[in-house]
């Protein structure tokens, strides 16, 4: 009771404290976009017959004919009213675009994170139980191998091998087979939506589309997660209370899983939170390679087109998610670790 | 007498980065049912390793190279994992130093006791909970129902040790091994825990092995005491024999070095009645969390005088040492050194003040107070360079300082990790003396040292004071030690002075009940 | 709320798709195109419209007229010189060339089932010359500037009046922008700020074309369904494909994989290297068409030093490694615009055509010395990120080759938006780009790309003789005289060397062997209406 | 640690950890190749030979030739210099600035610390790769800007790291001792705290070197890398990856291998360093 109240208070305080950072993100992005050397109006007026007048029109339409502080003020006002402006690239309101694309990114990132954790935690535990052994070195080498291949290379290779050569994987063109029917949207996660709709073919299609990109991303984050699991497991296994548990004759399974792993999971949770936020923003290249209609690829296209609003919206969204994920991690941490309350 | 546990020629080694290191060179021990055995030794003597090896709890690097560990006649040195699980906790239990760390921080203490119970007996959760509650009651924890749900961080160190004891006793083992169970606890708590331990083992006819560095403690609580040195048992005898007629030279040294109510130092009483050097008045310091760390404390120190500051943890003694030495700012009050009001200079600017060289400090943990990246030479030279010494003579000055502190100049090129605890303590002293201060604040300078080293360092400090006419502010929790070095002392409790006066008289006839309790709790072996 | 509405909409779409009608549309009746880009608006007039949006509008909207097509190699190519009625039943040009009369089809209907009327046509024509969009500047090139030029004669007849007999008036009505819109629907969504319903038509269509939009997800895919009431084809038949999926697949290698596996039917934007290998493997059909209404060049900024010096331009023109670039950068896939052997006058008045440029480093060095740069000079060479695949090698070769005559080149690869800005602001010294014109007419090319102070005058060239000649050619009705003027334009350009012409890149359409009917259109997109599966 | 003690210790760790030793040897080889490599090959990495374009590896061109007939091996070797220079410069920049700012904040605390913390929060909240892209796009894709962008996105980590490490040690006895010995705050941070934080940071540095190379490669993939014809692994891999399907595997093989090995080396080396510092804290 007092605990949940404390957690809530913590959450509220953290959210309030993150507001200046969010404002900073907005302003910084805004200014950064304005110093980009391209003129978006020129870019979008680059049809075969567009002249100076069209450029001026677009400039006016995008509000670029005003001074930067005025533009910023307008932008902040728009954010206040829940609008993130329009994308010139897709012609849609940025909010709508992000709303449609965020579930795709989230679904992929979640799948990748679950996959990575599912592999990294057992590997890290195994390595920590036998430090210095061949298993330990093998785990370390394998995980490191994953980090040193750029995601666009591993992605293209996976496609080449599993789609082109072996023909096991579905065509890497988005979230669901283009010929399959899209389930009605409840969660935005196609696999879950399909299951809700009882459409198992669609669910299988959506899930199989997820595999390759999720593997590509998971490979890249395996190393930090496994390393952290190993290190924190090692630290916990070497701690006094594990010795107590052993001295009390607790079974090995209980010591490893209940005593050690639960304690070791806390730092892993923190890293997992960071990994999640980073992946969500950094899977630009994976989304590109797998034609995944996510937010990062959207932002990349906008950035190259000097399309301000989507980039600004994307960065703001990522910052908000970053704040919320951190908060979630803190809350989970607080629930899992009784010491946090005391602090 | 049939032995409950017999250790025969036990040899243990550890694989370290420097190669294989032998920790035990054939240790022999035995303890009968219901008996109490003390194992005493300084750091590195192998006393804890013996206990851990007996329970096969050595960490990954440790290995039993030879010998037998007979539990009721069964050799458990090579027992299966399954047998060990059945043995540990149920037949032999063990409790450790630093009880708070020895408990799982994210599991309620009740659950941990229940875990221990259910590891050996097929109990329902409810039955186990009931027994756990009973166990807590047995170790005299107040409100045991509420404590069942408490987490270790919510309990005091003494309470944690009681929980540990409850857990260890839960399955009614025949032998309890207590590895430094009271080290790090305040002297009053220490007494309570030891009394409880003695009482419980007696009541349950349980054998107890008490491992400690404190000879007096072992002598007080055990029927027989084994003295270990560098992985070997040097002597086993009844306490009285050890104290009166130690057979082995090492035991003799150890007995001699252990401070008792009657130990003295040659120069203690040579108080030069010099003019007043330090005057502290109405010193008050409130911490960030709102508690009063130091509450209206006033005292003076004359030139060449040595004042003792005694108190348990949280009494404010360390805070006062930092305030006096201008490493921390007080909220109110004055600190005067001679004519200068040094309390008026903010701590962060004091490094530029001319009085910086006059007040120096020796820290509690000598190792931790040395920059790991500085050689002994650098450490001693640093204050010389900063506080304006003759640079051209620096080598010579440092060497002289080292010799004065009893440190061989050959060691000046070494880094802290290449030096022993005693050597590091000497560097700390040499560094503090380098700027030729008038007042030296000694913050538990021997607390982390073995008794034999402590004795030497105390002697050194005593001699230096006499030679250099230094004034000391000596901070310690150990009444015996304070009494050896200081003629006058102050007793602190909760940041307040509860008693002050001549050391001998405070010791002999304490005025405040708190001081009386402190004095009473000092482990001593009455012949 | 909009969320709820969207949910309902999706549910409705699901129901529709689940219906037997939808399921009957098998894979064979569906065409799947994969492309690196995306349709970003359904109304091609919108500023910022992508090329894919242009292509999509051809399938969704009808225009009054359409270009004919003619066989070309394995496929077809559009015929700029021949037009046919599309939404119009017929058209007639008055002998003085000042009036064009369109008769409408009595049986033509909009996608909502209502008949096409002269009102709709008048409104649509007004829209394309009046709305603040890409339409007016394009229409202007065909002397279509004001809504007063369009009059309703009767419910089935609309007349267009011109000031001068402009050869480009009718072709302009066949271009992308001149879409015919269901004015009743569009007007219902017009606002005071937006009288031409530009906003609404961005996400919705109100046309009469061969296909209706089933699903429009910018950045992901656009799915079309055949309109069973379409009347605009040449012979009145319906297109073969009942459903068309145009899907965005950003990675070119993946697009090639999809085709190789037979999972996609067509792609027109594969990398040259992939096309080359696919052609070698012979399993897929590659239809290569040099983009005869385009040219790739190296432009010199004639306003800045040292490119204001003719000899410098000539020297660089002679120092470019044409053959190597042609071979290494585009793998020879295109038509050369260099290496011609005429000196004074070109053999025809067609443009673009090969120019008399050759790699001759000795001559280049000589020219450079004459220009006063015996030790060369420092300059930069710029191109856009999106064209890096071709221009990375081009830049490397140019840098190497110019280095041999002492010209030190700093290569700059800049994001597209920045590239556009730099060109418009005339800040680049030397750069490469590909120029495209919908109107494959010599005078149009020269007026658009070599005169005036606008973006497309890459070289910022100002040659009075050329300007005059181009203007004269525009309104010259006599083909013979026109040919003379056209040749003169080309001769001046060859002599003055404002740009070094490289090639016309090929449009490589890669299709499954069973797919037929691909046409190279002026807008360089796929027209699904002509295509079929064997 | 004394020099000899440190060497002995390092040797012990290397012996105990074969992978780290192999990585160390390989790292030295790679760096040597980057420095002296251009002398090993007869080919000019920039010289085109269109007649011999896209040749698979043979006796003359051990790693084949690219689209312009340039020797892939010569380009891979030349690219090493640039990539290592980019990574080293970026990491050095962020390390120096981060250590000083973080060190000062960790030692001082207070308002400055809070404000720097806020700014770091802002940077951390950014999707980092997108920030790098935006910075390179804004500043122009030149080598120095790629270095700057990489340094900036690394900066918050170094500040945090240095801050945390310094804050932990601020209360240490030897810091108090330094203060008692008459050392001012500046001298304590620069002379005492940072040298002690350095070993822990060296792990970060090593891991970051690999990461910086990957970052440059990622920027190249989206076209924001260095300008051609400058050879750079990221560009070569990005271009080569697109040639995999058509069978020109050698275009990606050599640069890909070089890139992978380098990143692998730096990562394993970082791990090894961590081992050397503290066997239990290998995170």
Residues B103/B184, Cβ–Cβ less than 8 Å:
no
CB atoms within 10 A of CB D2: 14
Higher pLDDT, C524 or B270: C524
How far is it, in rounded angstroms, from Cα B442 to Cα B422? 15
Domain assignment of residue B148, yes or no: yes
Distance from CA of D107 to the nearest CA of B (A): 12
Q: What is the pLDDT of residues B167-182, one digit of tens each?
A: 999 889 999 999 999 8
Residue A106: C-alpha distances to residues A188, A224, C60 (Å): 9, 20, 34
What contacts A338, CB < 8 A, 6 or more positions away?
A: B105, B106, B108, B151, B153, B154
Residue from B56, B106, B166, B178 whose CB has the most chain A CBs within 10 Å, to mutate: B106
How far is it, in rounded angstroms, from Cα A237 to Cα C177? 72
How far is it, in rounded angstroms, from Cα C150 to Cα C128? 11
Q: Which domain does B129 fall in, by range?
A: 97-167
- Among the partner residues C253, C393, C399, nearest to D242 by beta-carbon distance: C253
Domain assignment of residue B317, yes or no: yes
Distance from CA of A130 to the nearest CA of D (A): 12
Bridge partners, C505 (sequence order)? C334
Domains of chain A and CATH, by start: 1-89+305-335 (no CATH), 100-280 (1.10.3720.10)
Does B438 score more than 80 pLDDT?
Answer: yes
Which chain D residue has the Cα nearest residue C256? D245
How far is it, in rounded angstroms, from Cα B54 to Cα B37? 14
Phi, psi of C319 (to 5 degrees): -100, -10
CB atoms within 10 A of CB C312: 24
The pair of three-digit structure tokens given for residue A127, joined into one six-digit string? 């390595």
How far is it, in rounded angstroms, from Cα B406 to Cα B293? 36
Residues A38/A306, Cβ–Cβ less than 8 Å:
yes
The count of structural domains within chain B is: 3
Neighbouring chains to D with at least 3 Cβ pairs closer than 8 Å: A, B, C
What contacts A118, CB < 8 A, 6 or more positions away?
A: none
pLDDT of residue D16: 66
The radius of gyration of chain C's CA atoms, rounded to the nearest angstrom, is 24
- Among the partner residues A48, A54, A164, nearest to C47 by beta-carbon distance: A54
CB atoms within 10 A of CB B411: 17
Kindly state whether residues B389 and B426 are assigned to the same domain: yes
Residues C221/C31, Cβ–Cβ less than 8 Å:
no
Kindly state whether residues B299 and B384 are assigned to the same domain: yes
Residues A148/D263, Cβ–Cβ less than 8 Å:
yes
- Greatest alpha-carbon pair distance for chain A in Å reads 84
Which chain A residue has the Cα nearest residue C457? A51
For B407, the 3-state DSSP assignment is coil
Q: Indicate the pLDDT class of residue B102, thresholds 50, 70 and 90.
A: very high
A144/D268 CB distance under 8 A: yes
Rounded to two decimals, the ipTM of the complex is 0.83
**CB of B372 less than 8 A from some CB of D:** yes
Residue with tokens 């005898």: B237
Cβ-based burial of C339 (10 A; exposed 0-12, middle 13-18, buried ≥19)? middle
Q: Which of B43, B51, B38, B42 is nearest to B12 (CA)?
A: B51
pLDDT of residue C60: 96
Residue from D134, D227, D232 whose CB has the most chain C CBs within 10 Å, to mutate: D227
Domain assignment of residue B525, yes or no: no
Kindly state whether residues B236 and B287 are assigned to the same domain: no
How far is it, in rounded angstroms, from Cα A51 to Cα C134? 9
- Among the partner residues C256, C323, C414, nearest to D245 by beta-carbon distance: C256
Question: In chain A, which residues touch B (CB < 8 A)?
Answer: 131, 238-241, 243-252, 254, 258-259, 262-263, 266, 336-339, 342
Kindly state whether residues B82 and B206 are assigned to the same domain: yes
Phi, psi of B231 (to 5 degrees): 80, 10
- Among the partner residues B89, B96, B154, nearest to A249 by beta-carbon distance: B89
Residues D188/D179, Cβ–Cβ less than 8 Å:
yes
Domain assignment of residue B527, yes or no: no
Q: What is the pLDDT of residues B467-495, one digit of tens each?
A: 888 899 999 988 888 888 888 899 999 99
- D3-46+60-282, which class in CATH? mainly alpha
Does B58 score more than 80 pLDDT?
Answer: yes
**CB of B80 less than 8 A from some CB of A:** no
- Among the partner residues A20, A131, A150, nearest to D217 by beta-carbon distance: A150
pLDDT of residue D4: 53
How far is it, in rounded angstroms, from Cα A279 to Cα A117? 13
Kindly state whether residues B8 and B152 are assigned to the same domain: no
Bridge partners, B299 (sequence order)? B280
Residues D86/D150, Cβ–Cβ less than 8 Å:
yes
> What is the H or E stretch that residue C100 is in?
strand C99-104
Kindly state whether residues B8 and B151 are assigned to the same domain: no
Contacts with B327 from chain D: Cβ below 8 Å: 176, 179-180
**CB of A150 less than 8 A from some CB of C:** no
Domain assignment of residue B271, yes or no: no
Residues B501/B321, Cβ–Cβ less than 8 Å:
no
Percent of chain B with pLDDT over 90: 50
pLDDT of residue C10: 44
D227/C257 CB distance under 8 A: no
pLDDT of residue D91: 93
Distance from CA of D106 to the nearest CA of B (A): 15
The verdict on whether omega for the bond into residue C352 sits within 30 degrees of 0, i.e. cis, is yes
pLDDT of residue B271: 57
pLDDT of residue C94: 93
For D37, the 3-state DSSP assignment is helix
Higher pLDDT, B14 or A1: B14
Higher pLDDT, B282 or D21: B282
> What is the H or E stretch that residue C533 is in?
strand C532-533
D181/B382 CB distance under 8 A: yes
Which chain D residue has the Cα nearest residue B347? D179
Domain assignment of residue B370, yes or no: yes
H helices present in A36-150, as ranges: 40-44, 52-61, 68-80, 94-129, 134-147
The radius of gyration of chain B's CA atoms, rounded to the nearest angstrom, is 25
Residues B76/B248, Cβ–Cβ less than 8 Å:
no
Residue B142: C-alpha distances to residues B147, B152, B162, B168, B451 (Å): 8, 15, 11, 19, 36
For A294, the 3-state DSSP assignment is coil
Question: Which residue pairs, CB below 8 angstroms and at least 24 apart, start in A143-147?
Answer: A143/A222, A143/A223, A143/A226, A143/A227, A144/A223, A144/D264, A144/D267, A144/D268, A144/D271, A145/D264, A146/A219, A146/A220, A146/A222, A146/A223, A147/A220, A147/A222, A147/A223, A147/A224, A147/D210, A147/D214, A147/D263, A147/D267
For the segment C242-250, the average pLDDT, to the nearest whole number, is 93
Question: In chain D, which residues touch B (CB < 8 A)?
Answer: 1-2, 5, 9, 12-13, 16, 172-174, 176-185, 187, 192, 195-196
User: How many residue pairs from chains A and C have C-beta atoms closer than 8 A?
Assistant: 167
Q: Are strands B74-75 and B62-71 parallel, antiparallel or unpaired?
A: antiparallel
How far is it, in rounded angstroms, from Cα A224 to Cα D141? 30
Kindly state whether residues B223 and B337 are assigned to the same domain: no
CB atoms within 10 A of CB C195: 14
Which chain A residue has the Cα nearest residue D252? A153
pLDDT of residue B273: 63
Does C232 score more than 80 pLDDT?
Answer: yes
For the segment A92-109, the average pLDDT, to the nearest whole number, is 91
Kindly state whether residues B483 and B341 are assigned to the same domain: yes
Mean pLDDT for chain A? 85
Q: Indicate the pLDDT class of residue C452, thresholds 50, 70 and 90.
A: confident
Distance from CA of C524 to the nearest CA of A (A): 12
The pair of three-digit structure tokens given for residue C147, joined into one six-digit string? 């809504």
For the segment B105-121, the average pLDDT, to the nearest whole number, is 92
How far is it, in rounded angstroms, from Cα A109 to Cα A188? 13
pLDDT of residue B526: 65
For A35, the 3-state DSSP assignment is helix
The verdict on whether omega for the bond into residue D229 sits within 30 degrees of 0, i.e. cis, is yes
Residue B281: C-alpha distances to residues A295, B301, B323, B334 (Å): 66, 12, 12, 5
The CA-based angle B213-B219-B225, given to 5 degrees, is: 75
Contacts with A283 from chain C: Cβ below 8 Å: none
A247/B55 CB distance under 8 A: yes
pLDDT of residue C360: 95
Q: Indicate the pLDDT class of residue A133, thresholds 50, 70 and 90.
A: confident
pLDDT of residue B288: 78
Those of residues 113-142 in C touching chain A at CB distance below 8 A are: 132, 134, 137-138, 141
What contacts D46, CB < 8 A, 6 or more positions away?
A: C396, C400, D70, D229, D231
Domain assignment of residue B435, yes or no: yes
pLDDT of residue C405: 94
pLDDT of residue D8: 64
Q: Indicate the pLDDT class of residue C449, thresholds 50, 70 and 90.
A: very high
Kindly state whether residues B246 and B311 are assigned to the same domain: no
End-to-end Cα distance, chain B = 26
Q: Which of A201, D135, B85, D244 is nearest to A190 (CA)?
A: A201
A247/B94 CB distance under 8 A: yes
Q: What is the pLDDT of residues B451-460, one digit of tens each?
A: 888 888 899 9
Residue from C51, C54, C246, C254 whose CB has the most chain A CBs within 10 Å, to mutate: C254
pLDDT of residue C12: 42
Kindly state whether residues B414 and B451 are assigned to the same domain: yes
Percent of chain C with pLDDT over 70: 95
Q: What is the pLDDT of residues A147-196, one digit of tens each?
A: 888 888 888 889 989 998 888 888 888 888 888 777 888 888 888 888 88
CB atoms within 10 A of CB C159: 17
D in contact with C (at least 3 C-beta pairs within 8 A)? yes
Residues D259/D221, Cβ–Cβ less than 8 Å:
no
B361/D177 CB distance under 8 A: yes
What contacts C362, CB < 8 A, 6 or more positions away?
A: none
A280/D127 CB distance under 8 A: yes
Residue A188: C-alpha distances to residues A108, A216, C279 (Å): 12, 22, 41
Residue A3 CA, chain-centre distance (Å), reads 29
> What is the H or E stretch that residue D78 is in?
helix D72-108
Mean pLDDT for chain C? 90
Residue with tokens 């849609």: A92
Cβ-based burial of B233 (10 A; exposed 0-12, middle 13-18, buried ≥19)? buried
Q: Which of B110, B102, B118 is nearest to B148 (CA)?
A: B110
Q: What is the pLDDT of residues A254-285, one digit of tens each?
A: 999 999 999 998 889 888 988 898 888 777 88
Kindly state whether residues B284 and B375 are assigned to the same domain: yes
Kindly state whether residues B253 and B336 are assigned to the same domain: no
Does A207 score more than 60 pLDDT?
Answer: yes
Those of residues 320-379 in C touching chain A at CB distance below 8 A are: none
D229/C273 CB distance under 8 A: no
The pair of three-digit structure tokens given for residue B415, joined into one six-digit string? 């880094």
D264/A280 CB distance under 8 A: no
Instruction: Identify the domain boundary among B196, B230, B257.
Output: B257
- Among the partner residues C10, C417, C437, nearest to A40 by beta-carbon distance: C417
CB atoms within 10 A of CB C203: 15
Query: DSSP states of B278-332 as a string?
Result: EEEEEEEEE-TTS-EEEEEEEEEEETT-EEEEE--TTSSHHHHHHHHTTSS--SE
D48/C414 CB distance under 8 A: no
Q: pLDDT of chain D along its 283 residues, tens only?
A: 444 555 666 666 666 677 778 888 888 888 888 888 778 788 888 888 888 888 889 888 888 898 888 999 999 999 998 999 999 999 999 999 999 999 999 888 888 888 888 888 888 888 888 888 888 888 888 889 999 999 998 899 899 889 988 888 888 889 989 988 889 888 999 889 988 888 788 888 888 888 888 888 888 888 888 888 889 998 898 888 778 777 788 888 899 999 999 999 888 888 777 777 654 443 3
């Amino acid at each position: 009771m007092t605990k949940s109240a404390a957690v809530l208070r913590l959450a509220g305080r953290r959210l309030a404290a993150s507001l200046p950072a969010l404002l900073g993100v907005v302003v910084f992005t805004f200014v950064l976009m304005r110093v980009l050397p391209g003129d978006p109006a020129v870019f979008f007026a680059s049809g075969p017959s567009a002249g100076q007048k069209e450029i001026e029109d677009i400039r006016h339409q995008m509000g670029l004919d005003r001074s930067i502080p005025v533009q910023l003020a307008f932008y902040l006002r728009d954010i206040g009213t829940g609008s993130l402006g329009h994308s010139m690239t897709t012609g849609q309101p940025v909010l709508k675009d992000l709303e449609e694309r965020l579930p795709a990114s989230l679904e992929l990132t979640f799948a990748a994170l679950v996959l990575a954790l599912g592999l990294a935690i057992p590997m890290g535990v195994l390595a920590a139980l036998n430090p210095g052994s061949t298993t330990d070195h093998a785990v370390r080498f394998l995980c490191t191998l994953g980090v040193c291949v750029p995601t666009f290379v591993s992605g293209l290779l996976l496609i080449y091998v599993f789609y082109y050569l072996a023909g096991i994987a579905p065509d890497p063109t988005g979230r669901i087979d283009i010929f399959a029917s899209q389930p009605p949207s409840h969660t935005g996660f196609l696999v879950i939506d399909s299951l809700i709709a009882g459409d198992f073919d669609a669910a299988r299609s959506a899930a199989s589309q997820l595999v390759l990109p999720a593997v590509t991303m998971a490979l890249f984050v395996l190393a930090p997660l496994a390393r952290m699991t190993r290190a924190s497991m090692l630290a916990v296994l070497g701690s006094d209370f594990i010795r107590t548990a052993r001295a009390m004759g607790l079974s090995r399974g209980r010591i490893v899983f209940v005593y050690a792993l639960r304690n070791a999971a806390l730092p892993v949770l923190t890293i997992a939170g960071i990994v999640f936020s980073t992946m969500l923003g950094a899977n630009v290249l994976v989304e590109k390679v797998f034609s995944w209609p996510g937010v990062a690829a959207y932002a990349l296209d906008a950035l190259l087109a000097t399309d301000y609003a989507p980039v600004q919206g994307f960065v703001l969204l990522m910052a908000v998610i970053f704040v919320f994920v951190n908060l979630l991690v803190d809350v989970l941490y607080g629930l899992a670790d009784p010491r946090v309350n005391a602090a | 007498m049939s032995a409950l546990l017999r250790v025969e020629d036990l040899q243990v080694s550890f694989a370290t980065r420097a190669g294989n290191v032998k920790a035990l060179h054939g240790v022999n021990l035995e303890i009968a049912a219901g008996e109490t055995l003390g194992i005493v030794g300084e750091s590195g003597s192998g006393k804890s390793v013996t206990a851990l090896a007996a329970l096969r709890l050595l960490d990954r690097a440790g290995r039993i190279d030879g010998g037998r560990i007979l539990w009721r006649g069964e050799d458990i040195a090579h027992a299966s994992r399954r047998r060990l699980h059945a043995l540990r906790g149920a037949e032999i239990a063990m409790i450790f130093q630093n009880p708070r760390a020895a408990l799982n921080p994210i599991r309620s203490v009740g659950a941990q006791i229940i875990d221990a119970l259910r590891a050996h007996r097929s109990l329902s959760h409810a039955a186990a909970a009931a027994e756990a509650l009973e166990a807590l009651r047995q170790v005299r924890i107040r409100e045991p129902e509420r404590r069942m749900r408490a987490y270790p961080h919510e309990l005091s160190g003494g309470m944690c040790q009681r929980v540990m004891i409850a857990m260890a006793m839960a399955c009614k083992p025949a032998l309890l091994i207590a590895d430094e169970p009271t080290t790090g606890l305040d002297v009053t708590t220490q007494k309570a825990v030891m009394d409880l331990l003695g009482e419980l083992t007696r009541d349950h006819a349980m054998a107890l092995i008490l491992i400690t560095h404190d000879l007096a403690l072992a002598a007080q609580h055990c029927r027989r005491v084994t003295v270990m040195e560098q992985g070997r048992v040097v002597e086993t005898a009844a306490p009285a024999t050890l104290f009166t007629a130690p057979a082995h030279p090492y035991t003799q040294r150890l007995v001699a070095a252990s401070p008792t109510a009657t130990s003295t130092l040659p120069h203690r009483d040579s108080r030069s009645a010099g003019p007043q050097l330090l005057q502290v008045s109405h010193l008050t310091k409130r911490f960030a969390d709102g508690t009063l760390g130091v509450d209206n404390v006033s005292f003076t120190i004359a030139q060449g005088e040595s004042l003792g500051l005694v108190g348990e943890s949280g009494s404010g003694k360390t805070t006062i040492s930092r305030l006096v030495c201008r490493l921390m700012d007080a909220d109110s009050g004055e600190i005067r050194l001679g004519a200068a009001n040094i309390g008026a200079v903010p701590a962060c600017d004091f490094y530029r003040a001319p009085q910086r060289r006059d007040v120096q400090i020796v820290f509690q943990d000598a190792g931790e107070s040395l920059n790991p990246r500085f050689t002994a030479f650098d450490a001693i030279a640093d204050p010389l360079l900063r506080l304006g010494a003759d640079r051209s003579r620096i080598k010579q000055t440092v060497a002289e300082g080292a010799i004065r502190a009893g440190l061989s100049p050959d060691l000046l090129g070494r880094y802290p990790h290449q030096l022993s605890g005693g050597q590091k303590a000497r560097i700390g002293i040499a560094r503090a003396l380098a700027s030729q201060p008038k007042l030296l604040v000694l913050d538990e300078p021997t607390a982390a040292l073995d008794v034999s080293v402590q004795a030497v360092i105390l002697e050194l400090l005593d001699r230096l004071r006499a030679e250099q006419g230094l004034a000391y502010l000596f901070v310690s929790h150990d009444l015996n030690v304070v009494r050896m070095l200081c003629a006058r002392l102050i007793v602190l409790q909760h940041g307040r002075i509860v008693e002050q006066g001549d050391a001998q008289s405070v010791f002999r006839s304490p005025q405040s009940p708190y001081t009386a309790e402190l004095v009473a709790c000092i482990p001593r072996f009455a012949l | 709320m909009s969320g709820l509405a969207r949910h309902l909409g999706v549910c409705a779409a699901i129901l529709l798709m689940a219906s037997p009608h939808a399921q009957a549309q098998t894979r064979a009746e569906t065409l799947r195109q994969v492309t690196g880009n995306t349709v970003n608006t359904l109304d091609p007039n919108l500023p910022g419209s992508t090329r894919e949006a242009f292509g999509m509008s051809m399938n969704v909207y009808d225009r009054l007229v359409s270009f004919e097509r003619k066989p070309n190699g394995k496929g077809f190519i559009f015929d700029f010189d021949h037009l046919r009625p599309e939404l119009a039943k017929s058209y007639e040009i008055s002998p003085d060339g000042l009036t064009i009369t369109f008769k409408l089809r009595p049986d033509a209907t909009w996608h909502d089932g209502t008949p096409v009327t002269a009102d709709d046509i008048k409104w649509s024509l007004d829209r394309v010359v009046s709305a603040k969009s890409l339409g007016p500047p394009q229409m202007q090139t065909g002397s279509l500037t004001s809504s007063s030029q369009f009059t309703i004669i009767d419910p089935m007849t609309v007349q267009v009046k011109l000031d001068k007999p402009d050869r480009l008036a009718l072709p302009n009505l066949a271009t992308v922008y001149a879409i015919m819109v269901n004015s009743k629907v569009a007007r219902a969504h017009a606002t005071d700020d937006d009288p031409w319903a530009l906003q609404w038509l961005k996400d919705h269509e109100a046309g009469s074309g061969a296909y209706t939009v089933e699903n429009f997800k910018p950045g992901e895919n656009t799915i079309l369904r055949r309109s069973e009431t379409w009347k605009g084809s040449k012979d009145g038949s319906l297109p073969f494909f009942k459903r068309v999926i145009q899907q965005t697949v950003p990675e070119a290698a993946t697009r090639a994989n999809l085709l190789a596996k037979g999972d996609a039917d067509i792609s027109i934007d594969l990398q040259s290297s992939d096309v080359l290998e696919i052609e070698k493997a012979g399993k897929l059909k590659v239809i290569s068409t040099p983009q005869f209404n385009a040219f790739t060049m190296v432009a010199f900024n004639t306003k800045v030093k040292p490119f204001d010096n003719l000899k410098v331009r000539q020297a660089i023109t002679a120092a470019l490694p044409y053959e190597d670039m042609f071979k290494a950068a585009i793998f020879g896939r295109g038509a050369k615009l260099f290496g011609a052997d005429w000196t004074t006058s070109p053999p025809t008045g067609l443009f673009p055509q090969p120019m008399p440029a050759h790699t001759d480093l000795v001559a280049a060095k000589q020219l450079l010395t004459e220009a006063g740069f015996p030790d060369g000079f420092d300059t930069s060479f710029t191109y856009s990120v999106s064209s890096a695949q071709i221009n990375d090698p081009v830049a490397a070769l140019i840098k190497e080759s110019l280095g041999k005559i002492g010209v030190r080149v700093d290569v700059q690869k800049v994001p597209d938006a920045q590239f556009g800005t730099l060109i418009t602001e005339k800040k680049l010294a030397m750069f490469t780009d590909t120029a495209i014109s919908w109107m494959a007419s010599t005078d149009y090319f020269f007026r658009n790309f070599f005169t005036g102070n606008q973006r497309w005058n890459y070289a910022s060239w100002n040659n009075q003789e050329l300007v005059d000649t181009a203007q004269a050619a525009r309104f010259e009705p006599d083909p013979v005289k026109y040919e003379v003027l056209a040749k003169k334009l080309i001769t001046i350009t060859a002599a003055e060397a404002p740009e070094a012409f490289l090639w016309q890149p090929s449009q490589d359409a890669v299709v499954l062997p069973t797919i037929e009917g691909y046409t190279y259109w002026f807008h360089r997109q796929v027209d699904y209406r002509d295509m079929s599966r064997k | 640690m004394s020099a000899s003690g440190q060497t002995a210790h390092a040797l012990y760790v290397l012996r105990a950890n074969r992978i780290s030793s192999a990585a160390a040897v390989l790292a030295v080889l790679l760096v040597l190749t980057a420095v002296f490599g251009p002398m090993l090959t007869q080919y000019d990495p920039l010289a085109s030979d269109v007649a011999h374009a896209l040749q698979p590896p043979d006796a003359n061109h051990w790693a084949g030739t690219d689209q312009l007939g340039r020797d892939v091996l010569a380009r891979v070797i030349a690219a090493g210099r640039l990539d290592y220079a980019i990574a080293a410069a970026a990491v050095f920049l962020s390390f120096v600035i981060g250590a000083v700012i973080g060190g000062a904040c960790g030692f001082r605390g207070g308002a400055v610390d809070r404000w720097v913390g806020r700014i770091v929060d802002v940077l951390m909240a950014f999707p980092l790769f997108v920030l790098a892209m935006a910075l390179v796009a804004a500043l122009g894709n030149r080598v120095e800007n790629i270095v700057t962008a990489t340094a900036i996105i690394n900066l918050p980590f170094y500040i945090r790291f240095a801050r945390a490490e310094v804050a932990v040690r601020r209360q240490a006895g030897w810091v108090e001792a330094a203060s008692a010995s008459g050392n001012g705050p500046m001298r304590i941070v620069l002379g005492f705290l940072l040298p002690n934080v350095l070993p822990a940071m060296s792990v970060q540095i090593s891991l970051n070197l690999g990461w910086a190379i990957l970052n440059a490669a990622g920027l190249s993939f989206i076209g924001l890398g260095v300008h051609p014809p400058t050879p750079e692994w990221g560009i070569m891999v990005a271009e080569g990856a697109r040639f995999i399907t058509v069978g020109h595997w050698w275009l990606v093989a050599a640069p890909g291998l070089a890139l992978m090995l380098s990143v692998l080396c730096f990562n394993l080396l970082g791990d090894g360093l961590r081992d050397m510092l503290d066997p239990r804290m290998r995170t």
